[in-house]
Amino acid sequence: MSKASTSETWPTIPLPDIQGQIFDLTGFGAVSGGGQLNSVAFSSAVARCHEAGGGTVRVPPGRWLTGPIHLKSRVRLELEAGAEIEFTPDFNAYLPVVFTRWEGVECYNYSPLVYANGAEDIAITGAGRLIGNGAAWWPWKQTSRAVVGEVYNMEAQGIDLSQRVFGMENMYRPAFIQPINCHRVLIEGVSVENSPMWTIHPVYCTDVTIRQVNVLGEGPNTDGLNPDSCERVWIEGCRFSTGDDCIAVNAGMNEDGWRVGKPCRDIYIQDCLCLQGHGGIVLGSAMSGGIERVRARNCQFDGTDRGIRLKAKRGRGGFVRDTLFEDIRMTNIKREAVVIDMFYTCGPVSVTDTPPDFSDITIQRVTGNSLGQAVYIAGLPEQRLRCLTLKSVDLAGQQGLSCRDVDGLMLDHVRIQAATKPGMHFTRTSNLTVTEVETDSPVEED
């Protein structure tokens, strides 16, 4: 039924080619201890490294206070064990504004804490910590509600990018790490903590590798990792405990996502642990440019609000197709272990009702207990979810499986235990194929 197959071989993602000298941060006048701002030292070290043809900017043990760090081609930022880069909570340090994508819409805004635009072969590696001081920015979630809608109004009205300039009083929080239009990116080994907003947000990038990274966040919208209209992204062995989704795949919001027209495709996720967060692995809801060929295997979710989550709503357009989740273990999931919802309610409203298109989704060898609900599937009446396979799935929760507006559902060796009745409920579900299905509560069909 689905295009995804367990027999496929995952590709090798090219890593950055970074060679050359080592430039120690202290050689550029940096002073540790947190009392001196080292922005000039970081900028000078990166520039010298880049001008030399590439190499490594080494950050030794100590606490190094700085403003934003802008990486350049063929530069590696290496944090030694015991090194802590602390980013200043002074908002003005992140000006002038830079080109970015903010919640799926292109604009100019505060610089991300670590930023690169149009670079090739860049890396952030080591055993140190990057500390975002995000708590200084988090109150903007509440105080900026009146102005945040402006960027969405601009996209709906087709206002030129050159006029979408924010920062200053607009209160649009920046991402922590954002390479944009970059090729061959590596983030490995570091701990990234307390972002102002989204933590690791590659945009329009190709050949991105993120592995053995520890992401910690408590504030609003502090997603862990958001590949956004990227191609060929490898995510491996990472640990997430966040204030929003742990891993969220995106591709632009509404009209601006259609205008840019860059899908997010060939995303490979394995051996990740997701703890606190709204969702473990999430696709959408900003998916207007399209999401395809996402593969996730051998991951564990423990304590997230939801596990596997695909979300969109009328007005998003775009598509999510050819996705595979396998060998996923879940426990203590507060709401749904598996949820595919085309009636998602949050986010801006488009000027049209263009529906999203979800198809060819396979979820197999998934187990879970202590769940709020096992499975919740909701397509749109006018755009039904097509070709969904649940295979070798064993889930136990307060509620069972609920499914509506699906065309082509295969249940193969599925066991659902539910504390409340019914165990399974189907509404407007056509082309249903059932093999070895077990539930301890009744099955209902409308």
User: Taking the chain, what is the end-to-end CA distance rounded to the nearest angstrom?
Assistant: 24
Q: Is 74 left (phi over 0), alpha (psi -120 to 50) or beta?
A: left
Considering just the CA atoms, what is the radius of gyration of the chain in Å?
22
Q: What are phi and psi of 264, to 5 degrees?
A: -105, 120
The alpha carbon of residue 250 and the mean position of all alpha carbons in its chain are separated, in whole angstroms, by: 7
State how far the alpha carbon of 122 is from the alpha carbons of 16, 346, 382, in Å: 6, 35, 45
Residue 235 near residue 201 (C-beta atoms within 8 A): no
CB count within 10 Å of CB 73 equals 18
The token pair that represents 242 in the structure block:
């966040």
3-state secondary structure of 33: coil
Residue 46, Cβ density class (10 Å: 0-12 exposed, 13-18 middle, ≥19 buried)? buried
DSSP code of 162? G
State how far the alpha carbon of 350 is from the alpha carbons of 354, 366, 367, in Å: 8, 35, 37
3-state secondary structure of 201: coil
d(CA 12, CA 124): 20
Element (DSSP H or E) covering residue 42: helix 39-51
Residue 442 near residue 423 (C-beta atoms within 8 A): yes
The token pair that represents 137 in the structure block:
């920015």
Residues carrying an active site annotation: 244, 278
d(CA 404, CA 67): 50
State how far the alpha carbon of 76 is from the alpha carbons of 65, 80, 186, 327, in Å: 19, 12, 9, 34
Residue type, 321: R
Q: What are phi and psi of 322, to 5 degrees?
A: 55, 65
Element (DSSP H or E) covering residue 153: helix 145-157
Torsion over CA: 42, 46, 48, 54 (sign): positive
